[in-house]
Chain A
Amino acid sequence: MITNPLRDPRDRRLPRVPEPCALVVFGITGDLARKKLLPAVYDLANRGLLPTNFALLGFARRDWGDTEFAELARDAARKSARTPWREEVWERLAASVRFVQGSFDDDAAFDELAGALTELEGSHGIGGNAAFYLSIPPTMFPTVLKQMQRTGMAESTPDRWRRVVVEKPFGHDLASSRELNALVDSVFGADDVFRIDHYLGKETVQNLMALRFANTLFEPIWNGHHVDSVQITMAEDVGIGGRAGFYEETGAARDVLQNHLLQLLALTAMEEPVEFSAEQIRIEKLKVLRAISLPDDLQTFAVRGQYEQGWLAGQRAIGYRQEEGVDPHSITETYAAVRLGVETRRWAGVPFYLRTGKRLPRRVTEIALVFKRAPHLPFADTDTEELGTNQLVVRVQPDEGVTLKFGSKVPGSVMEVRDVSMDFLYGEQFTESSPEAYERLLLDVLLGDATLFPRNAEVEASWAVIDPLEEFWAGTEPFPYRAGEWGPRAADEMLAAEDRQWRRP
């Protein structure tokens, strides 16, 4: 039924704009809120993608008034916004910004918050719709969720929607994530819970689906007949920053492998969804995650490492154990590499090598499909000595784009074949001013589009992969590697054991 005569499916110029609503941020004074959320809200407003009636509510312990909060929000938004700063846009936004002060176990503060929401319903016409962003440590979730349940804020009715946004980590193992999921899903409905994995908001990741399912060229070779192995890398050149407390508890496998890398694996390995909808994509991703197998020989094929002091980008970098707040005998890993299998007809026998680490030579995230060698080469052996394997690389960041590596003749009078690579790079502007992942994901939450958000079953399936690894690693010393190296030697040996080697990204 057409409810709005001005909407025309052929009209692709009109953007999707959410219904009138409020965004409530818990932990608004935190790092994430200041660096990502507030700028994203401003950018959305500046692009005209926020509804006419919109309100932003901040909740934190600090003793602030609306004006002080508006001032902080303005500075934060201005500092990190991606679109040009326009004071009038902010002024309009600031008119609908509220701050509620209180601690999470304070009943009165939550009553005040509920009251403020109801009041905004009238004064700002937000129609009772609200999204709650939990930008707080997971240990606080139960308290906050119970408060919301008590005040009835979490209830969706046919007249209004209430959604909740949760940041990773979604638990620290299967049991705890089940517990967390059960709690969140019982307070909000399962459909109203949005788990943010900001990697999925990136253009290249979405483009992976376009690359695979909109083209005829790649799908026929996207399987174990042609693909020899898949390497998924997420490397960071930075250390742990000021997050020692968090990192000591978490480690690289829980921090990155469990969510980002497994999501990238799922998108790479999944079958074609029946249609491009949240539900269908999720069904396919879940099938892959459940089909993941761990190697029998974990000793060889699951490697974890920890950086020692070294030199990185011309600067001396201290070791992990020397970082402030880190136990000098810490056995937390800052590097993890594992060989996984995907037990489906398409992928049986193809190893998926996943690795992530901190203090690696450069910041890069990529998915590389390494193809099998041609079964027969009509050239003399010496002609193809330099010929490697064909590769298709999806560069997620930086330099978003696609690289194809193949053999080509070396110009000259003799027949020699060597590897060359062909690059597709998104336009600079395209990636510069294309919506920041948070902006896109925030908009999707307000629109109720769950395509880019993992559901609880996916999270649990991912933990089912990580738990045995953590169990195996428990109590063992991670392999040391120097800051500025591509990980510990054991990780190289892991591929060498199968006559392969890591691609240098």
Chain B
Amino acid sequence: MTTLWDTTGSAVVKELAAQRRTGGAVLSGVALTLVVIADESRVIEAEEAATHAAEMHPCRVVIVVRRQIEAPVPRLDAEVQIGGRLGPGEAVVLRMYGRLALHAESVVLPLLAADAPVVAWWHDAAPARLATDALAVFANRRITDSSLTDDPQAALRIRAEDYVPGDTDLTWTRSTAWRATLASTVDSVAGRRGDAVRISGGRIEGDPHNATAQLLAGWISSRTGCPVEVVASARHAGPSGVDAVFLHLDEGEELRIAADRRGGAVISQPNRPDGTVALPDRSLGDLLSEELRRLDPDEPYSDALEAATGLAGLTERPAEREHVWVDPADDGDRAPTVPRDPGDEGAPSGEDGSSSDEAPPRVR
């Protein structure tokens, strides 16, 4: 591992190449570049998850930490790792200070693996409009996590308003185990009947403010066409926010799947004894791995998101985002103006410290 203090993007690229030469054949082919945007307090968590995911999907990991945006002098610190703590591949942790944070793409773009898909993951509260972060614009797939916000339900609505195909949210990933269990339970009813099953309604007991519970309800109603409500349960629901799911089937049958608090779920269905299946809470790394498995737009997610938020036409939106330049310094009373620093070579060109005449960077 090498740490570069107060450095430049090109020095990082050089160091990466140097380490690749001396490090031997560590890298074994790259499937994608994973760009992680994390707050300093969550870097360790994000590193762990990215490392786990990189072991499954060989990728280059670029972690971007934006710090002290009001710092007067822009600065870049970088940690370059090959085959070390951050998994078997290449990893770079970039800490950006001052207004450089607004131009993170200038450092990240040359670090992307050539012609491989780019996945951006915000392990943080993501911007309301992803287009305001240039890193979102060139990413082929964007992963947010609404559970990291104060009001996940509202965050989900923001994600729906901002949605373009290729977006996904980890609150959706957290519903996979529940969805798999529900689908296979309905399979077994269909198998027993030897005939199709119709679902005429459903109810989720859990935490109505939990985005995963809302998406699960949205998914069931998008698949069945009937409204599904999330009602508060007496017990505290786990990270998925779901305590139990009830499905009303035709022929007057009802299914009930309830979390057993021991990493499993009890399935109750007519004409069969109760059964238990594994329904573990998965680690962040597992969730991320699942996301990296497929990089095409996730239609079931957009359908569920539509149903959960009442917005329509998400899938039809164009898949491209144009970068929207937003300067945090423009907010309110033009707080700290950054003085010009002619001696600062670390800053990307075009950065002049003031915001008024700053041209929006063009990113494609």
Contacts and interface: CB of A to CB of B under 8 A. Distances in A.
A357 to B, nearest CB: 28
B224 A5 contact: yes
B54 A427 contact: yes
Interface stretch (A84-92, A170-178, A319-327): A84-92
Nearest to A54: B275
B129 interface: no
Contacts of A64: none
Interface in B173-188: 173, 176-177, 179-188
B290 A13 contact: yes
A472 to B, nearest CB: 43
Given A3-B195, A11-B300, A53-B272, A425 B29 contact: yes
A424 B179 contact: no
A127 B278 contact: no
Contacts of A423: 25, 28-29
Interface stretch (A14-22, A339-347, A368-376): A14-22
Nearest to A2: B196
A401 B28 contact: yes
Interface stretch (A43-51, A222-230, A308-316, A461-469): A43-51
B312 interface: no
B55 A429 contact: yes
User: How extensive is the interface on chain A, given as a class?
Assistant: 35 or more
B30 to A, nearest CB: 10
Contacts of A426: 28, 58
B50 to A, nearest CB: 13
A428 B89 CA distance: 10
Interface in A17-57: 17, 19-20, 45-48, 50-54
Nearest to B176: A13
* Residue of B182, B192, B224 with most chain A CB atoms under a 10 A cut-off: B192
A466 B179 CA distance: 49
A290 interface: no
Contacts of A12: 293-294
A52 B262 contact: no
B186 A127 contact: no
Nearest to A124: B273
Nearest to A88: B262
Contacts of B54: 427
B55 A6 contact: no
Contacts of A15: 180
B56 interface: yes
A48 B279 contact: yes
Contacts of A275: none
B280 interface: yes
Interface string B281-312: 00000000010011000011000000000000
Contacts of B273: 53, 122-125
B57 A19 contact: no
A50 B277 contact: yes
Given A4-B183, A427-B55, A52 B277 contact: yes
A492 B262 CA distance: 60
B190 A3 contact: yes
**Which secondary structure characterizes the binding site on chain A?**
loop
Contact of A86 (B173, B185, B275, B280): B280
Interface string A447-465: 0000000000000000000
A3 B249 CA distance: 12
A427 B58 contact: yes
A428 B55 contact: yes
Contacts of B182: 6
Given A88-B264, A123-B273, A430 B56 contact: yes
A78 to B, nearest CB: 16
A373 B223 CA distance: 58
A10 interface: yes
A52 B196 contact: no
B183 A6 contact: yes
B113 interface: no
Contacts of B220: 6
A159 interface: yes
A11 B176 CA distance: 10
A7 interface: yes
Contact of A429 (B56, B181, B263, B277): B56
A8 interface: yes
Contacts of B187: 3-4, 7, 17, 19
B354 interface: no
Interface in A65-106: 86, 88-89, 92, 95
A44 to B, nearest CB: 10
Contact of B188 (A7, A13, A20, A45): A20
Interface in B181-240: 181-188, 190-192, 194-199, 220, 223-224
A414 interface: no
A21 to B, nearest CB: 10
B55 A159 contact: no
B61 to A, nearest CB: 12
* Residue of B28, B198, B299 with most chain A CB atoms under a 10 A cut-off: B28
Contacts of A14: 176, 179-180, 183
B191 A89 contact: no
B276 interface: yes
Nearest to B296: A12
A397 to B, nearest CB: 16
Nearest to B59: A427
B152 interface: no
Contacts of B177: 48
Nearest to A6: B183
A48 B277 CA distance: 7
A448 to B, nearest CB: 12
13 contacts: A6-B182, A13-B179, A17-B183, A47-B278, A48-B277, A52-B184, A53-B188, A92-B277, A123-B273, A427-B28, A427-B55, A428-B88, A429-B88
The 5 closest A-B pairs by CB, nearest first: A429-B55, A425-B28, A125-B272, A52-B275, A17-B184
Given A20-B191, A52-B185, A92-B264, 20 more contacts: A4-B196, A6-B183, A6-B224, A10-B300, A13-B293, A14-B179, A15-B180, A50-B277, A52-B277, A86-B280, A88-B262, A124-B275, A125-B275, A159-B194, A424-B29, A427-B54, A427-B55, A428-B55, A429-B52, A432-B55
